[in-house]
């Protein structure tokens, strides 16, 4: 398994377990195209992102064009086509969070992490991404780190929050 985030050109191979899961999912659906998102999630769970070589392996197993899979992979924001950090930080930039100070949260995260939106820290610890809504408008501003929602975020506690995810 190649659960490494550091090199974009890293050649990865699917494990036997992943291939079994992909074939199982493929056979669950009457049309193979319906399985693509679920298959991409399986592969990303084990590798952290979908490299070109992994995309081609998926294409071979599903017996469909890699272009078709690429179209779906690049459409969904939860599928990563380049290496990402161990911790994905999403900050809500909806109107409600904007009114509650998400811009200050975004700037503070950029300063502390020394990176721009859409990028990953050099140590591959964090990736910072905007998100339209995290579904907690009454609790804004909100950030999500991995699967954890953090409500009513204040500038002064961001360092403490990030310490939990080192």
Please check if 12 is assigned to a binding site. Answer: no
Please check if 137 is assigned to a binding site. Answer: yes
Q: How far is CA 13 from the centre of its chain?
A: 20
Contact 54, 60 (CB under 8 A): no
Handedness of CA 51, 128, 40, 43 (dihedral sign): positive
Distances (CA, A) of 152 to 130, 142, 166: 17, 6, 21
Please check if 67 is assigned to a binding site. Answer: no
Contact 144, 89 (CB under 8 A): yes
Please check if 133 is assigned to a binding site. Answer: yes
Contact 94, 145 (CB under 8 A): no
CA–CA dist 79, 45 (Å, integer): 10
Annotated binding site for [2Fe-2S] cluster: 92, 97, 133, 137
Binding residues: 92, 97, 133, 137
């Amino acid at each position: 398994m190649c659960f490494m985030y550091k090199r974009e050109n890293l050649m990865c191979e699917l494990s036997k377990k992943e291939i079994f899961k992909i074939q199982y999912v493929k056979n669950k659906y009457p049309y193979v195209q319906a399985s693509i998102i679920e298959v991409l999630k399986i592969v990303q769970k084990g590798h952290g992102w979908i490299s070109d070589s992994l995309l081609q392996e998926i294409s071979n197993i599903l017996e469909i064009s890699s272009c078709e899979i690429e179209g779906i992979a690049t459409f969904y924001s939860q599928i990563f086509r380049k290496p990402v950090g161990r911790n994905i930080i999403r900050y809500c930039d909806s109107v409600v969070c904007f009114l509650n100070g998400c811009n200050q949260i975004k700037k503070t995260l950029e300063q502390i992490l020394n990176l721009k939106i859409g990028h990953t820290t050099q140590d591959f610890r964090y990736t910072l991404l905007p998100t339209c809504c995290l579904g907690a408008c009454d609790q804004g501003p909100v950030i999500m780190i991995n699967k954890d929602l953090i409500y009513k975020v204040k500038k002064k506690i961001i360092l403490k929050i990030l310490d939990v995810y080192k």
